[in-house]
Structures are given as C-alpha cells and as structure tokens.
Structure 1
Amino acid sequence: MGARVSREDYEWVYTEEPHATRRKEIMAKYPQIKKLMRPDPNLKYKVLFLVTLQILAMSVISSQSWMVVFLMAYVFGGTINHSLNLAIHEIAHNLAFGHSRPLANRILGMIANLPIGVPISVSFKKYHLEHHRYQGDEKKDVDIPSDFEGRMFNRTFSKLIWVILQPYFYAFRPLFIRPMPVSTLEIVNFIVQVTFDVLVYKYFGIKAIFYFIQGTFLGTGLHPLSGHFISEHYMFIKGQETYSYYGPLNLLTFNVGYHNEHHDFPSIPGCRLPEVKKIAPEYYDNLPHYDSWVKVIYDFITDPEIGPYSRVRRNIKESDEKKIDYCFSNGFEECHLFDPQILQDLGFEDEKCASYKPEILNKTQKEGDYNSLNLLSERFQLMKSQPNLYYTVVIEDTVTNQVVGSATLVKEMHFIRQCASRGRIEDVVVNSSYQGKQLGKLLVDVLTLLSKKVGCYKVSLECLDKMVPFYSKFGYVKEEGQNYMCRRYIPK
C-alpha cells in the first residue's frame, strides 16, 4: 500500500484568497491589462476543429480491434477530449463570444461537449464559477476533495487509484457536497448529448461510443494532461494555494497552466494569459511554479506529505465577519448586502431580456452625493439587518476601483395574494462618463430577473415619460387604470 500520508486534515486559513488583492494591485499599476479582457475570436474555430477530428476518427475506430480502440482512446481521443474539457472551461467564462452573448457561449459549449460523451458543459459552468468566487470555501468550492477522499486515499497505492478515478470524483462530488437545482439549459445539454450518443451508436457502433466516453475518463485520469488538476491548487509548499505551469503542454490545454494568471484575471482568455505574465513579471516570476505535469503526478502519488487533504480551506463565516468589520473602514473591501451567489444563478439565456445593441440610454444620470461615509455605513448596516428585502447591485470599473453604476430592487412583503411579495426597482444610476456602454440595460436586466428569482409576483418601477420606451424593452408596460401619485416633503 505504500507510505501513509502524514496530513490528516485540510490547511485551514482565515484570510481571503490572494487573487482579488493581486488583481487590484496589477490593474492599478498596469491599466493597459484591461485591453486583454476580450473574447478569443479563434476559440470557436479551435473547438470546431477538435470536434471534427473526433467525428472523423469514428470512421477509423469502428473497424479496429478492441486493443487498438483502447490505445487510441487513451493516446489520441483522450488527449483531444481533455482539450475539449478545457475549451469548455474557457467557454464557461464566456470567452468565446463575450458576456453580451451568453446563449452563443452555451451553444458552443454543448458542441464542444459532443465528443466527450457525457453532458457536462452547463453544469460545469455553475460550479466552476463558484470555485473562482469562493476559492477554498468549505461549502461552496467543490473543487476540493471531500473528507471521504482524504481519509480513504491516504497511501501511495490508494493515491494512484484516486488519480485514475479522478474524473469520476469530479463528476459526482458536487452532487453530494453541493447539489443544485437542475436548470433548463442542463436539460437541453442532456438531451443534445444523448441524441448525439444514440446517433453515434446507430451509425458507428459500440466501439465509437467506447472511444468517446472511455477516452474522456482515460484522458482525465492517469494522463499527462491531468497533471493540471493537481498542480493548480494542491499545496506542495505550505501556504501557497495556487500554482502555474509553464511547460509545453499548455499548447494542448488553452494555457490552463497559467493558473495564477487565470485566477487573477478570469475574464482574459487563455491565449492572452502569457501577456499578463509579461506585463507584470514582478508579480509572477517569484511565485512557485511547475515545468512538468508528469512530475507533479508522480510527486503527488509518492510523497507521503501530499494527499487529497493538501488543499487550503476557509470557513466562510469567519471570512464574512472580517469583511463586515472592515468593509467601510478600509474603503475598498467587498461587503455584501445579500448573497451574491443568487446573481450567478440568474438565467439570462432562459428569459426574455433586452437586446444589446450599440444604442443605449442617452439620459445623463446624476450620481448621488454622499458626504458622510458614516451615514452611508449606518444605512448599509440597517438595510443588511433586514435580510432578503434590499438587493443593491453595482458595476465597478476595476481599473479605477470606482462604482460607475448602481440600482436597487426592494422586495415588499404583503398580506394580499396569500402573503405574496412585490418588487420595486429604484435608483438606477449610471455615471455620466460611462454612458453608451449599455450599463443601464445590464442593471435593469439583472434586477428584473432577480425579482422573479426571489419570488416577487410582479415588479414595477417609476420613470419619466421619455424613459418609457427604454424600460419597455424589458417587458414593462403602463397598466390601464393605474396611476402613480405622490406627496413630496422635500423639493426636487
């Protein structure tokens, strides 16, 4: 069985993950890095090329012996399917078509999913974004092995088995650790994938199906490319929770090896991550990194100090308390009025949202004049003390670290309609310097979808006559017989 792993628990820390702080520092020092934050125009062509290669391989595989099929599934098919898995990773960040075309990204993700054989694209996105947002969190980061894995696979031989079975743990761990409701797009992903698999079986036979599906599990198990699963976050050096790899296999994996750079700037596609390191070398050159994924796998299996427990983990309650204590005193820490996870769960692809074109609201919004930070802090804490009633969302310019847009959804609780809730959208504000960037549309879209998500039976807003055409784009209508009247105590 080999030597027993000395570590019997995770590396528990009570500090924030390092990437947000480093991102702010780099953005302040090198604002030109923002120019890298745009989609990869070639990603869709790379995906289509790899999918076509796998489909063409079926005509060769179906007539070969089982031994040849197995070898091809590991060497050729497994490598391509692993690359497609990492293409899906890129697409999950909307790096194929940008954030303004989420449905196009999801469709491309389903296409990349086809040769993989099992539907993963849509489900991967919702869990992976949590891994970025809550890196190391004991409840929300399902990238971290479970306690069962840490206890069971704690010797050299059992760690070898764990590496071989790693894709199965990645597939099923979220279902046990953090199950989520199945979305409409996940159902579509499942139907598309099963239909493709049935057609492959019908026209190319069982060997083609084996080549696809088994190639996926072989290629993401004990395979050279799978070294990135371990190299990214397993703590080979105490206190270091993210590592980059700068070897040649990045050419086959969309530069996923540039993992510190990726977590610092997840909106930059893999093809441009080397430029991040080139622009800000003082932030990356001295960080521990790897040059061989094969050696990473070997060291993980044979080193008695490394095992599934070798991950940094955080207690979310401790982190939240620290944020609340310092969010206003420091002036730049994040402090959440409500759980931001709910925004990640909004289905922009599933709902009727406004169309995004170059034209945008041309009204110049005026920013609020808050002269007292203490007054603002007191109001924030008062609103936060009444959970699930106030949902304020903001847009931040990460170059200047300034809030440039804001809007609030107020959830009113009523006795009527069997104690239903009504939503009101208030205070839609966009900095005048940022007009023409569709930020007003984004704010209203988010809060409209959010009102439905939090259970409002209807949502309303008040606006000037000339703004009616703008809000009509989101499905808002002037209901006949309804009038808005007010009695104002403070003049405009």
Structure 2
Amino acid sequence: MDHKSALAALPTERKAALQERSDLRGLLHLAGHVGLIVGFQLIIALRLPLWQLALLPLGILTVFLFTLSHECTHYTPFKSRWLNDALGHATSLPLMLPFTWFRYFHLAHHKHTNDPERDPELEHGPRPETWPQFLIYLSGWGYWRGMARTLWRNAFGSIDAPYLPARQHGTIRREARVLLALYALIGLSLLWSPLALWLWIVPVLIGQPFLRLYLLAEHGRCPPVANMLENSRTTYAGWPVRFIAWNMPFHAEHHSFPNVPFHKLPELNRDLAPLLQSTSPSYPAFAKDYADNLRP
C-alpha cells in the first residue's frame, strides 16, 4: 500500500483531527526551544565556569531551528498564518536560509522527493557515497557555500529556478539583500565585540554536522520512488531529539501527510507504522549503517 492509499483508508474525521493546528502547542514548544538557546547564550556571554562546554549544545539547538523553518513552510506549527510567516522569517538570519526562497524550494522537494532529476535537494549532486564525500558533507561546507551562493544569486543575479514563481522574484531579491546587509553589520560588529562570534558563528559551525547527519537520515539510501512510505525514512529517536527537531524524525509520516502539524505526527505514526518501508531505530544506528556501506 502506498501513502495515498493509506491516507484514503483513514476515516474522514480521523484525518480532520490530525490536521488540527494550535498556536498554544506551537508557542509552548517554541518557548522551550528558544529558552534553551537563550540559557546557553547567557552562560557564554557571562563567561560562567566551563562556558566553552555550552558552545556545542548552543550550536545544535540553533541549527535545529531549521526544523521549525521547515515546518513553517507548510503553515503547520501554528494555527495563525502570520505566526508561521513571522517565525519562518525570524529563523532566516541564524540559519542563512532565506525563508521565501526556502518555502518554494521545499515544496518542490515534496513534489519530487528523491527524484534525482527533479528534487532540488539533489541539484548539487547525489548524497555521499565515499568516506571523503561523507566527511565533507558532515562538515557543513556544502551547506554554507551553497547558501552563500544562493543569497548572492538571489540578491544580484538571475532568479531562474523553475520552482520559484515569477510573482515572488521581487520578494526573494529583497529578502536576500536584507540578509546580506545584516550579515555585513554582524561582520562589522566583530571589530569591537566578539559576541557574535561566540554566540552564533562558532556554535553553528560546530553544530552543523549534527544537523547534516539528521537530514541525511531523512532520505539517504531510500529508493527513488513516488511512494512516500518508501522514499522517506522514519527514525525512532529519543524524546530530546524529537523535541529539538519538532517531531520531524517521523519523516515518512510528514511526507505522506504534510498538513499534519508537528504535535500530531506521533499519532499519525500509530496509523502508518505497519506500512513504513524505510525506518531506523536511532540516528547512531542509521549512521553506522550508512558508514558501513561507504566506499573508501
């Protein structure tokens, strides 16, 4: 049974209940995530004892705001559309991820998931198959370089990706220019204060490998087929990972039914679990499996 047949088999009232959004649930989750970020930032800013140990958890929490941005592209973490837009744009700066551009990029990924010819996530090349490719991928070099090039192209070059509607080109260009201006100001601020270096730059650089591994598990080594129960992987991670990733380890469920908000995905998993074709018991288990099949 593919994902379309599985969803068609669900009762109408069940599907309606799964799609119920909540500002309260979204804001409570956001408060927990941002609260942890601010807590670690205070430890670093105040130079409390062993403050250097706070850099890694701060980096992981910051880069995993990506999962919130991702959810906001679907208008699902909050019931109010303006909240989804506001939080999506707010995450643009720390992630170097222009939100309007990303919304259309991501929707194209959903439409052509794991299609080597049309999935924009694969437009920069296939996923790593050798140890050197794997280590470079985990470093985050490809992400930072790719996003810098995307910002520059959106700001000053040609906006010609087929998934970007012409009516949004002006917004995408303005968005990129605003972000570049803000990064220039942050760069200038380093001349008189290293705060941005320790509260943002260093943490996200050392946190990015954890996000890369998490994202690789979503579709890595899944077959290039149309069935979302096969081309996307659900990873049965522990509560801390599910929390910072906004329940997106239930990724096959998300791809099968993108209108389901993050807090309803565990419920959808109970409906679809027997049908899932690509799963992993944990991220360490996925990493071991992936690494065992890498070429020298």
The structure richer in strand per residue is: 1
Q: Write the distance in 2 (CA, Å) between the matches of 1:241 and 1:96.
A: 24
The alignment's C-alpha RMSD in Å is 3.8
Q: Which residue of structure 2 aligns with residue 35 of structure 1?
A: 17
Q: In structure 1, what is the Cα distance between the partners aligned to 2:202 and 2:67?
A: 17
SS class of match (2:136): helix
* Residues 115 and 224, structure 2, Cα contact 8 Å, conserved in 1: no
Partner of 1:485: none
Rounded to whole Å, the distance in 2 between the matches of 1:177 and 1:254 is 32
Alpha-carbon distance between aligned partners in 2 of 1:194 and 1:54, rounded to the nearest angstrom: 24
Considering Cα pairs closer than 8 Å and 6+ residues apart, tell me whether 1 or 2 has the greater RCO.
2
Give, in angstroms, the shift of residue 38 of structure 1.
2.5
**Counterpart for residue 62 of structure 2:** 81
| 8 Å CA contact retained: 1:110, 1:189 | no
1:138 positional shift: 4.4
User: Compared with structure 1, are the counterparts of its residues 136 and 155 closer, same or farther at alpha carbon in structure 2 (3 Å cutoff)?
Assistant: closer
Corresponding residue for 1:7? none
Amino acid at match of 2:235: Y
Q: Is the 8 A contact 1:54 1:77 kept in 2?
A: yes
Deviation of 1:124 after TM superposition, in Å, equals 1.8
1:48-59 equivalence runs, <5 A: 48-55=31-38, 57-59=40-42
State the SS of the aligned residue for 1:143.
helix
Distance, in Å, in 2 between the alignment partners of 1:301 and 1:211 is: 32
Distance change (3 Å), C-alpha of 1:172 and 1:290:
farther
- Structure 2 unaligned segments of length 5 or more: list them: 154-158
2:221 is paired with a residue whose SS is coil
1:220 to 208, 211, 222: 208
Name the % identity.
18
Q: 1:27 Cα shift?
A: 2.8
8 Å Cα contact 1:78/1:216 also seen in 2: yes
1:289 to 270, 274, 279: 279
> Given the superposition, is the C-alpha separation of residues 170 and 217 from structure 1 closer, same or farther in structure 2, using an over 3 Å criterion?
farther
Q: Which residue of the partner structure matches residue 107 of structure 1?
A: 86
Map of 1:234 onto structure 2: 220
Name the counterpart of 2:27.
Answer: 44
Query: Does structure 2 retain, via aligned residues, the 8 Å contact 1:246–1:290?
Result: yes
Q: Name the residue aligned to 1:304.
A: 294
CA shift, 1:59, in A, is 4.0
* Structure 2 equivalent of residue 475 of structure 1: none
Query: Letter of the aligned partner of 1:44 in structure 2?
Result: L
CA distance in 2, matches of 1:227, 1:196: 26
Q: Distance in 2 between matches of 1:112 and 1:228?
A: 18
Q: 1:93 to 1:217 in 2, by over 3 A?
A: farther
Match of 1:243 among 228, 233, 237: 233
Q: Is the 8 A contact 1:47 1:84 kept in 2?
A: no
> Larger C-alpha radius of gyration, 1 or 2?
1
Shift of 1:91: 1.0
Q: 1:258·1:273 contact (CA, 8 Å) conserved in 2?
A: yes
Q: 1:296 & 1:204 partners in 2: Cα distance?
A: 44
Counterpart of 2:194? 206
Q: Is 1:134 paired with 2:112?
A: yes
Report how far residue 120 of structure 1 moved: 3.1
TM-score normalised according to structure 1 size:
0.47
Q: TM-score, normalised by structure 2?
A: 0.74
Paired residues of 2:88 and 2:99 also in contact (CA < 8 A):
yes
> Which has more helix, going by share of residues?
2
> Match for 2:200: what amino acid?
F
In the alignment, structure 1 segments of 5+ residues that lack a partner are 1-17, 308-492
- Residues 313-363 of structure 1: per-residue CA shift (max 9 Å, x gap): xxxxxxxxxxxxxxxxxxxxxxxxxxxxxxxxxxxxxxxxxxxxxxxxxxx
Partner of 2:134: 159
> Closer, same or farther in 2 for the Cα pair 1:169/1:235, shift >3 Å?
farther
Corresponding residue for residue 168 of structure 1: 144
Aligned length: 274
Question: Shift in Å at residue 43 of structure 1?
Answer: 1.5
Contact 1:113 1:193 in 2 (8 A): no
For 1:106, the aligned partner's letter is: D
